[in-house]
Amino acid sequence: MKRKTLTIGSRGSELALWQARWVESRLRTLHPGLEVRIDVIKTKGDKILDSPLSKIGDKGLFTREIEETLLAGRIDAAVHSLKDLPTELPPGLVIGAVCEREDVRDVFIPHPDNLVRTLAQQALGAQIATGSLRRKCQLLAFRSDLMVIEIRGNLNTRMKKLAESDWAGMILARAGVMRLGWESQIGETLSPEVILPAVGQGALGIEIRSGDTATTQFLTPLIHQPTAEATGAERALLRRLEGGCQVPIGTYGRIMAGAAGASELHLDAMVGSLDGKHVIRGKIHGRPEDAERLGTSLGETLLSGGADRILREIRAMTPQNEPA
């Protein structure tokens, strides 16, 4: 008999719940009669808010407790921001669906009293907040005079901290800002030429138990193949570089029409030093069905072009993570 209930695991932030409820709504529409409920689970990343991500480790920081609940059978699926999901999943778990991607770009959110809306026009030495080494590196590569401020917390917390600060502004992912209806707060949407996004940014990944055919069938209509291919290349790149929150890595995969009209996967990527003084960039394109090979190949190109030295230096300065 076909199962009539499905339990989704989610973090408890407003954005995480927006994402889980979006999946819940789509499942109810696609499968009339299916009962869907959401179980809120607190992760390590939600509990430790007074340390930068780069200092507390990043393997499963926002996913481990949810994955343990999934493996225990207390939930049927876990909705994640794909950029939070490690490239190596625990045994017994797989990605059941990658949903259509939102805008991948980052945005500059100026302080409410700051009338200068663009990043390039901020005053010399302006203070810009971010919790991401990827953004910090690219901000300093774009403008070495900027003072980058560490910030943690969910989007609501960050907005509150910005309003109470004397910072010029902060950098966030456009997808999250748009999902929470805060478009009016955006001063500028930043081109990937200025800041390349994080791996999987703007996409939702739904994790399930391997072999769970019932949940797989429910989720199959949510799969967006172009997004799955583009993010698959990004995740293959990250896997080859063995990177994460502790390493400034940016990448942007997208499906485009080629010269002959056939679809092509284009992938750009960068690896940079923490101070933004050394940035290694590369790009590749090919068939979407070769996504994993393209990501791995671009990772090899970056490593041979100097990224290996940058990564070694960063890891030598960074305390070792706890085992995943």
Question: Tokens 């080859």 — which residue?
Answer: 240
Residue 72 to residues 65, 83, 92, 131, 205, Cα–Cα distance (Å): 11, 24, 11, 32, 19
Mark whether 113 is an active-site residue.
no
Which of 58, 76, 84, 268 is labelled catalytic? 84
Pairing of strands 77-81, 5-10: parallel
Residue 8 to residues 24, 70, 157, 323, Cα–Cα distance (Å): 8, 9, 24, 26
Catalytic residues: 84
